[in-house]
Structure 1
């Protein structure tokens, strides 16, 4: 069962539809990697010296991964709808949000490594 808008407008070139689908799948792979990182962090990494930090990072990864999976579909649908209507492709904030979340996790990991070395 496809959404109503999927029947509106004109069918775009299949290459663009498939490229949009590949982008959607790339976002899903990224979301799954974030979720896997959250699981690995809680199950495989020993506790940090700062209590609750490991859990906090795992929650951040899990939340970002879950939101990314949901918003990936929204982005796919918006792009597909725009292509069917012959409109410019919509902007997305997903790359910025994922980049900042990854940078935040990375900064915390760097700080943890530096603290552990001491």
Structure 2
């Protein structure tokens, strides 16, 4: 699967794995947040806003977990082939998603 190149220093491989696990932990928190918003905020948000927030959080969790796997693979290949590390494309995804959720919440607070 990761054929070719040379075996990297185990410290770098383990650091890559820790980073992957940190992204997965964040994805799980987003998934849990989406479920919590849908399950426990019926008396706080109108149905449309509650569903929108839950769907955005759940989609972010799914995209982040799959993006973390792709990033782990790309970084591992870069380490083995001694090429520059790839740009972290999941970082802008997470930042943009957080901004959208924050914007929806700010709009809701301003209206009420």
TM-score (norm 1): 0.87
Once structures 1 and 2 are overlaid, which stretch shifts more, 35-44 or 84-93? 84-93
Q: Which residue of 1 aligns with 2:77?
A: 81
Instruction: Report whether the alignment pairs 1:33 with 2:36.
Output: no
- Tell me which stretches of 4 or more aligned residues in structure 1 moved more than 4 Å: none
Per-residue CA deviation, residues 52-81 of structure 1 (Å, 9 max, x unaligned), is: 111011111111100111110000000000
Per-residue CA deviation, residues 68-101 of structure 1 (Å, 9 max, x unaligned), is: 1111000000000010011111112110111010
Per-residue CA deviation, residues 12-47 of structure 1 (Å, 9 max, x unaligned), is: 111111111111001101110110010000001125
What is the count of residue pairs matched by the alignment? 111
For residue 24 of structure 1, the aligned residue among 20, 23, 37 is 20
Unpaired segments ≥5 residues, structure 1: none
For residue 98 of structure 2, the aligned residue among 102, 107, 116 is 102
- Three-state SS of the structure 2 residue aligned to 1:82 is helix
CA distance, structure 2, for counterparts of residue 104 and residue 52 of structure 1: 15
Unpaired segments ≥5 residues, structure 2: none
Q: CA RMSD in A?
A: 1.3
